[in-house]
Amino acid sequence: MRSTLFSMLASLNPRSLAPRQTQQTPDLTALLKSNSNLSEFATLLTSYGDIYANLSFQQDITILAPSNAAFQKIPYSSLGAAFEANNSDIVRSVLQYHVLEGIHAAGSFNGSFTFIPTWLNNQTYTNTTGGQVVAAVQQAGNVNVFVTGLGSRSTLTTPDLAFTGGLVQVVDTFLVPPVDYIQTVPQFNLTALGGATTNASLNRYLDTTPDITIFAPNNNAFQELGSTLSTMSASDLMSLLDYHVVNGSNFVGYSANLPNGTILQSLQGGNLSISFADNSIFVNSARVIQEDLLIANGVLHVIDNVLDYNATGVKPNPVIPTQVAIVPGSSLSGNVVPYTSDLPSTLTSFATTSPTGAAASSSFGVSDIGNSAAASSTISGAAASTTDGGASTTSKKKSAGDKIESQGSLLGGAIGIVIWAIGFL
DSSP 114-183: EEEEBS---TTT---TTS-EEEEEEETTTEEEEE-GGG-EEEEEEEEEEETTEEEEEESS-------HHH
- 334 φ, ψ to 5°? 80, 10
Render the burial of 140-160: b for 16+ CB within 10 Å, e for the rest: eeeebbbbbbbbbbbebbbeb
Q: What is the mean pLDDT of residues 144-165?
A: 97
At residue 203 the predicted structure's pLDDT band, cuts being 50, 70 and 90, is very high
pLDDT above 70 covers what percent of the chain?
75
**Any idea which of 112-126, 169-183, 335-349 has the lowest mean pLDDT?**
335-349
Read off the DSSP letter of residue 397: P
Q: How far apart are CA 182 and CA 191, in angstroms?
A: 9
- Percent residues over pLDDT 90 in the chain: 64
pLDDT band at 334 (very low <50, low <70, confident <90, very high): confident
Q: Compute the mean pLDDT over every residue in the chain, rounded to the nearest whole number.
A: 81
Note the pTM of the prediction, 2 decimals.
Answer: 0.78
- 391: pLDDT confidence band, cut at 50, 70 and 90? very low
Look at 184-188, 232-236, 417-421 and tell me which has the smallest mean pLDDT. Answer: 417-421
pLDDT at 410 over 90: no
Dmax (CA) for the chain in angstroms is: 111
DSSP 3-state of 394: coil
pLDDT by residue (tens digit) across 216-244? 999 999 999 888 888 899 999 999 999 99
The confidence score (pLDDT) of residue 182 equals 96
Q: Give pLDDT, residue 408.
A: 41
- 8 Å CB contact between 169 and 156: yes
